[in-house]
Every structure is written in C-alpha cells, then in structure tokens.
Amino acid sequence: MIPTDPQPVPQEAATGPLPQWDRVEELVHEAYQRYHGHAEGTVADYIPVLGRADPGLFGLVVTDVAGGNHAVGDAEVLFSIQSISKLFVYALALERHGHARLRDVVGVNNTGLPFNSVMALELNAGHPMNPMVNAGAIATTALLGDGDPFASWAALDAGLAAFAGRTLSLDEEVYSSEAESNERNLALGKLLTNYGRLEGDSDALVDVYTRQCALAVTAQDIALMGATLADGGVNPVTGLRVVSEEVARDALSVAAAAGMYERSGEWLFEIGLPAKSGVAGGIVAVAPGKGAVGAFSPPLDSAGNSVRSQLAIAFLSRAMGLNLFASSVR
Ligand code: GLU
C-alpha cells in the first residue's frame, strides 16, 4: 500500500499554472515539517553499501519550468541515482531510436512484478515489456550505444549531465558494492542474450547499467532533471534542449505506467503524476508544463519506494494541484 497520510489535505485542481511563488515555498516547507519525523520504512541493504545510509536524511525540492527553485532539508546530499536513471536513459534512447523502435524492442507496459524479476522475462519469451525495471533498462542502455558498451556510457554520461545541468560523478563505493553482488542483473543480461533480445557483450552492458545506477545526484539534481521533462525537453536552467517534446511526452507516459515498481497503478490513482523511484531513496515526480518534485529519504517501503518522499509528493500533489486527472470547471 502507498503510505496513507493521517491528515490528508484537500485535492486542488490541476487546471492552470502552479500556485504563486510564495505559496509553493510555504508548501515545500510544510511538507518537510509534516514528514521529517516520520519513522516508517527500512533502508535498502541488498546492495551492501546502501545499508549504511542515514535513515534520518530527508531533502525536498520543487523546480518549476521557469527554473524557479524551492529547496528544504537535505537537498544537496549526494545519493546514488539507481533506478531513477532508467527514466532519463530511456528518454535518451527514445531520442536516438524513436517511439516505434523502443515500443517494439523494449515495450511500454508494467510487468506488475518486482524490478529485478527473472520471471517477468521468462513469461514473455524474453521481451522485457517495461523499460523501468532492470531487464528493460539493461536493454535500453544497450540500445543507446547500439550494443557497444563504450558508446552507451559516453551517450548516457553526456545525456544525464545535460538533464542535470552539471556533470554527474560516479559513486565508486556504490558501484563496487553493487558490481560485487550483481549476479541477478548479470543473469538478466544473459537471459536477454539467450532470447536474442540483447546485442553486444551482456556482462559489459550490465556493467554500464550498474555504473549508470551508481551516478551520484542530489534531490536538487533530480528535481531539475524532472523539470526538463516537464518543460518539453528543455532544461529550464541551462536553456538547452536535451530531448524533443515528443520524447519528453513518451518518457513521462511510461513513468506514469511503471515508474513506481509494482505500486505504479496505486501511485497514479492516489497521486496522479508520472514518477520514478530508486532504491537509494530518491523519487522524482513530474507535473508536465508546471515543474517537478525531487525528494530523497533512504527508508523504503516493501516495494522499494521511499516512504517520506512518497508522503511529501502526495501532499504537494494535492496542495499544489498537480494531479493530472484533477480538473475543475474554468
Ligand atoms: N541498481 C539497482 C539494481 O539494478 C537499481 C534498483 C532500483 O533502484 O530499483 O538492482
């Protein structure tokens, strides 16, 4: 279950722009105050080094499509991007290969199974179905370099930097820890190869995927990366176009269907925004044409979604009128 707020606020309609600057500032601070003491959730430990994260960390940022910024708490603390990278690497692959190729090769549906499921691949003759879980993300990373791991890395390193407006560095400790305990992802790579769904050296491509997940970001970075998708693919701070409007739209529709692991349907029902979550505790949620919320707090629920981040984004979606499906009569 998505965590429930003991004191939910009324849902504002999404019709029209974001509230005034001062009001957004006030709501971001209110969200922090409401949830920073919330103690539910457990820090991920299947990647050994992640288990050492401070469970008290909590950062929250709203970045709007004009580049306006509202940050509170641990907004500048670095954490590994993990699965949040899947959304942005998917956008880069869409930009390179187009809507139809990505739909056919990787798929756009939710598997309804955990992010590292082998069964999801086996049930679908090796078709990944979903670019937001590991098998589909490994296939997407491979496509970005046409099967050449060096080309994939160069493209995603440059592309994620363009989304974030700065070069991202690799968290070597997270990378080594995951690389040493990566049997499952290596197995997914081999299965994709076995089904003829992956071109290139699967171990080397899984290594690129592992590095991609170990890039270090802050809540501030993921908010700006999300705001770039909210702004039709143009980074609102640097002014540079990163992907086309069509790609931003397609990437967000997949995030809406599958960004929150096997809770994606419930998330869309309760919060009404495309979002992507990662096991280090980050979540980015995007309100197209308005802006994005970047949240970070390590304790996770059983699906792998940060508990405080979900509560804060749910609050902001209601109070700021972000839910895509909440219209009112003009
Ligand atoms: N690097 C992690 C893995 O592949 C990402 C998991 C996640 O954030 O969902 O297992």
Q: Ligand 1 center to residue 177 CA distance, Å?
A: 12
Task: Tell me: pLDDT of 63 over 90.
Answer: yes
**Window from 9-23, 173-187, 188-202 with minimum mean pLDDT:** 9-23
Ligand 1 atom 6: the closest Cα is on which residue?
83
Interior/surface letters 209-247, b for 16+ CB within 10 angstroms, e for the rest: bbbbbbbbbbbbbbbbbbbbbbbbbbbbbbeeebbeeeb
- The mean pLDDT value of the chain amounts to 94
- Amino acid identity of residue 244, one-letter, is S
Question: Domain 85-213 maps to which CATH number in 3.40.710.10, 3.40.50.1110, 3.40.47.10, 3.30.2130.10?
Answer: 3.40.710.10
Predicted local distance difference test score (pLDDT) of residue 30: 98
Distance separating alpha carbons of residues 245 and 100, to the nearest angstrom: 16
Cβ(205)–Cβ(138) below 8 Å: yes
Ligand 1 atom 2: the closest Cα is on which residue?
82
Mean pLDDT, rounded, for 201-213:
98
Predicted local distance difference test score (pLDDT) of residue 109: 85
Ligand 1 atom 7: the closest Cα is on which residue?
83
Q: How far apart are the first and last CA of the chain?
A: 34
pTM above threshold 0.85: yes
Where residue 271 falls among pLDDT bands split at 50, 70, 90? Answer: very high
Predicted local distance difference test score (pLDDT) of residue 99: 92
**Residue ranges covered by each domain of the chain:** 21-82+215-320, 85-213
Q: Ligand 1 center to residue 86 CA distance, Å?
A: 9
Question: Domain 21-82+215-320 maps to which CATH number in 3.40.710.10, 3.10.180.10, 2.40.50.140, 3.30.420.80?
Answer: 3.40.710.10
What would the two tokens of residue 293 be? 């919320």
Q: Ligand 1 center to residue 83 CA distance, Å?
A: 5
Task: Tell me: pLDDT of 3 over 90.
Answer: no
What would the two tokens of residue 223 be? 């908010």
Give the three-state DSSP class for 296.
Answer: strand
Task: Tell me: pLDDT of 45 over 90.
Answer: no
Q: Which residues approach ligand 1 with their CB closer than 6 A?
A: 82-83, 115-116, 134, 178, 185, 213, 278-279, 304
Ligand 1 atom 4: the closest Cα is on which residue?
134
Task: Tell me: pLDDT of 4 over 90.
Answer: no
Q: In the Cβ-directed half-sphere of 1, how many Cα atoms lie within 13 Å? A: 4
Kind plus residue range of the DSSP H or E element containing 286? strand 282-287
Which carries the bigger pLDDT value, residue 150 or residue 199? 150
**Window from 35-49, 103-117, 197-211, 275-289 with minimum mean pLDDT:** 103-117
What would the two tokens of residue 93 be? 């692959």
Which carries the bigger pLDDT value, residue 254 or residue 12? 254
